[in-house]
Each structure stands twice: as C-alpha cells, then as structure tokens.
Amino acid sequence: MADLFARRLANPGPLGQYSDMAHGYFAFPYLEGEIGPYMKFRGKEVLNWSLNNYLGLANHPEVRKADADAAARFGLAAPMGARMMSGQTPYHEELERKLAAFVQKEDAFLLNFGYQGVMSAIEAMVDMKDVIVYDAESHACLIDGIRLHKAKLGKYFTFRHNDMESLEKNLQRATRLADEQGGGVLVITEGVFGMSGNVGKLDEVVALKKKYQFRLLVDDAHGFGTMGATGSGVAEHLGCQDGVDLHFSTFAKSMASIGAFIAGDKKIINFLRYNMRSQTYAKSLPLPLVVGGLKRLELVQTQPELREKLWTIVNAVQNGFRARGFNIGTTVSPVTPVFLHGDYDEAVVSHLVADLRENQGIFCSIVLYPVVPKGVIMLRIIPTAAHTLEDVERTLNAFESIQEKLQNGAYAGRGIATFA
C-alpha cells in the first residue's frame, strides 16, 4: 500500500506543479489597498484589471456606510446557526423577495456561499434516475455539482460549448435514458462564461423546450448586474426569462460581496429551501452581508449610470484591442480575454507577465494550458465602472509593447523569472 500523502505530493496537479515558482507572484499574490483600479503590488502602484468589481460597488460610499452600520449594529456573528434552525431573519426574507422580483421569478433562496450553494442545488435537484446535460465550458462549481450527481450513480452528458446541434443530440440521448429510468432531464449552462466572455445561447436553449422536456439551470454570476436592460442578467438580455427554470447568481461579482441566491417557481424554491444540504447544515449568511446586499441591490436597480459607465469602459477596451490587431475572441460581455499566440514556454510567459507588472505597471490575470490550448497565452482584462478612458489607453499601449517584445524574442533565452 502506498502512503496517501506521498501519492498526492508525487502529482501536485495542473496548478500545483508550478507552485514553487509561482507562489506569491503569479499565484497567491498580495494586492493591497482600497479595492479599485489602483492598488499596490510588491509595494508599487499598479493599474488593476483583475477584479470582478464590475459596477465599482466595492468602495461605493453608500455601500461602505451600509456595511459599517450593519456591522456595528449586529456584529459578524448574527444570526447564529443555519436558516432552518435559528438563522432566519426578516432581512434574509426581504432580500429574497427583492432578488426574486428583480430576476422576474416567484421566489428566491438566499445562500451563504456561491460555489458550494450551486453544487448543493444541483445535488438536491437530481437523483440517480435523472440525467444532466451540461455545457463543456461550465464553471468548476457546476462540474463539482455534477460530480455529486455522479457519486449517486447519476448519468450525465456534455455538449460542445454553445453548440446547439451538440446540445440537441445529447438531449436525445438524455431523453431516451431518462425515459428508461423514469427520471427527468436537467440542462446546465451559464449566462456569461467567465474565461471567454461568451454569452450562453439561452434563448436557443429555451427554444429546444418545444421539442424536448427538460428543466434549465443557468449560472449567471458574471451577467447579474451587467447584462440586460435593468441589469438582471443574460436571460433578460436575450428575452427568455420565463424559460429559465432556475436562475443562480453569486454576490462575488457585481455585488462585490459574499453570498448568492437561486430563484425560480415558488414550489421548487421551497423544495430547495428544505433539501439543500449546504444550507441546512451550515451557518446562515451574516446580517451585515445581508443588509449590505440590500443596499447593493438597491444601487444596481436605481443607478443605471453605473452599468452605463461599465459599458463605456468595456467598449473602449474591446474596440481598442481589436483596432490594434489583438485577438479577444468572441466576447460580447465585459469579460475581455486577450490571446497571444505562439510556442512559448513557461519561462517566456513569466518574463512577459513580470514586464507587464513591474515595468508597465499593469496587473491582470494570466491563464495558460490546460485552461486554454497549448501555444496560447490568455491575459484576462476585467473592465469596471471605476476605470477611466485614460486607464484604457495606458493599458492598450502597454499591451502593444509586450506583444512587440514577445514577437521579437525579448523574453526568450532566460530561465523562469524569480522574485525575492
């Protein structure tokens, strides 16, 4: 028998294999100071494009005041216990009612955390007789929820990303299997895909309900607050709210907080309220976060100028990159991936990122294989309402500089960049 720890350490995983060289700089970096476009990295000010603070609410004065007042009034402990036992408050229910109305659903269930919340919702919704069909580029939290279904001996099929022909073929397979087993079908996809910026084809998925019987769960973490006429998300943007059976979103993006919600028909939300293990057996969302959530939702609904400013920056960023010949894929959302192509090893990439951060003063996320194909470097830009057009111009110039150096071999022939 092998030692369990020895087996894990022998294969540290796709990210862990880089931990020795990456930790503290490329991974787990310190970004210090007030949340916003300008923060400190290694003691230097950098222009930060790495945070999903889409509407700039993290340091909005009304938000900061609401958070501080609620913390002073309630402390961080209240309410103690799970919602079902002792953690229920009128504030939780008020936020649920307002969230449900905002996304045009009958009811909503407030969750203590997004990742585990949606995992738990998937686990509660399906048993071994049911079949899941999901988009190949679904977020890790959705994949882990599907793994829970697999652990219960449930079956699932994957369709090619945003490919309706592939979805329909897999719906046919899922329908046959569900018929044989006496189960149902759950389709899972996203509103905005957080790496590519692609918008899920929710209207086309919903249209398939005319041919197939299934329920649709949409994770709209990046679409909530940013997409649609009122900011309620991609389903509103595409005019298909009624066809989305379960609308999930987190507060970790536009709401700049912690927590999440899932919304749908009243009876099915009540089923989830009494069957989601992550909520039944875990602490209720603390009151300062709930009261702060009420203020954030109010601002999302009453200050459309925040969303308008966001899209001014988004359009300037994306049009600017395209005009300068950069490949930003097929994004139609605020998420802006910049793809640099070539057979570059980790050492070259490390010097490129170091140049961008140390010399250009630009901080953004970097994504490599296996998240993107080999031979591709993806630098992800997240525009926010707090950025300015001057920030955009500075960033475009910096990217032109690093691309020219990359093509000229300026980053080649050296070992991996190291930092004290």
Question: What is the CATH classification number for the domain harbouring 214?
Answer: 3.40.640.10
Would you tell me the crossing angle of helices 304-323 and 389-407 to the nearest 10 degrees? 30
Query: Do 254 and 398 share a structural domain?
Result: no
Residue 135, by phi and psi: left (phi above 0), alpha (psi -120 to 50) or beta? beta
Q: Does 366 reside within a domain?
A: yes
Among 261, 283, 302, which residue terminates a domain?
Answer: 302
Query: Do 111 and 187 share a structural domain?
Result: yes
**Percent of the chain scored above 90 by pLDDT?**
89
Among 261, 284, 302, which residue terminates a domain?
Answer: 302
Q: Does 179 reside within a domain?
A: yes
d(CA 36, CA 33): 8
Query: Do 37 and 137 share a structural domain?
Result: no
Q: Does 3 reside within a domain?
A: no
Beta strands at 215-219 and 246-250: parallel, antiparallel or unpaired: parallel
Find the farthest-apart pair of alpha carbons in the chain and give their distance in angstroms, rounded: 64
Q: Does 331 reside within a domain?
A: yes
Query: Do 290 and 329 share a structural domain?
Result: no
Q: Does 419 reside within a domain?
A: no
The pLDDT of residue 419: 78
Over the stretch 122-168, which tens digit does the pLDDT of each residue have? 999 999 999 999 999 999 999 999 999 999 999 999 999 999 999 99
Among 275, 302, 329, which residue terminates a domain?
Answer: 302
The pLDDT of residue 213: 98
Q: Confidence class of residue 420 from pLDDT cuts 50, 70 and 90?
A: low
Q: Does 120 reside within a domain?
A: yes
Over the stretch 227-270, which tens digit does the pLDDT of each residue have? 999 999 999 999 999 999 999 999 999 999 999 999 999 999 99
* Chain position carrying tokens 């918008």: 199
Residue 341 backbone dihedrals phi, psi, to 5 degrees: -110, 140
Q: Does 208 reside within a domain?
A: yes
Give yes or no for residue 321 having a pLDDT over 80.
yes
Residue 261: strand pairing partners:
110, 249
Query: Do 156 and 259 share a structural domain?
Result: yes
**Domain count across the chain:** 2
Are the beta carbons of 110 and 290 closer than 8 angstroms? yes
Domain span holding position 347:
12-48+304-407
Cα dist from 316 to 184, 306, 319, 390, whole Å: 45, 16, 5, 10
Token representation of residue 50: 């790495």
Whole-structure pTM value: 0.95
Query: Do 268 and 157 share a structural domain?
Result: yes
Average pLDDT taken over every residue of the chain: 95
Over the stretch 330-343, which tens digit does the pLDDT of each residue have? 999 999 999 988 77
* Chain position carrying tokens 């009261």: 291
Query: Do 237 and 157 share a structural domain?
Result: yes
Query: Do 127 and 239 share a structural domain?
Result: yes
Give yes or no for residue 376 having a pLDDT over 90.
no
Give yes or no for residue 374 having a pLDDT over 80.
no
Between CA 248 and CA 259, with CA 254 as vertex, the angle to 5 degrees is: 50
Are the beta carbons of 352 and 411 closer than 8 angstroms? yes
The pLDDT of residue 18: 85
Over the stretch 70-92, which tens digit does the pLDDT of each residue have? 999 999 999 999 999 999 999 99
What is the 8-class DSSP label of residue 251? S
For residue 361, count CB atoms less than 10 angstroms from its CB and return exposed for 0-12, middle for 13-18, buried for 19 or more: middle
d(CA 73, CA 68): 9
The pLDDT of residue 341: 82
Query: Do 360 and 231 share a structural domain?
Result: no
Over the stretch 100-119, which tens digit does the pLDDT of each residue have? 999 999 999 999 999 999 99
Q: Does 180 reside within a domain?
A: yes
Query: Do 397 and 267 share a structural domain?
Result: no
Over the stretch 197-227, which tens digit does the pLDDT of each residue have? 999 999 999 999 999 999 999 999 999 999 9
Query: Do 113 and 228 share a structural domain?
Result: yes
Which residues touch 294 (CB under 8 Å, ≥6 apart)? 66, 91, 94, 95, 98
Q: What is the CATH number of the domain that holds 324?
A: 3.90.1150.10
Among 326, 311, 220, residue whose Cα is nearest residue 263: 220
Query: Do 140 and 186 share a structural domain?
Result: yes
Which H or E run includes 362? Answer: strand 362-363
Our CA dihedral for 338, 343, 345, 350, rounded to 10 degrees, sits at: -30
Are the beta carbons of 166 and 221 closer than 8 angstroms? no
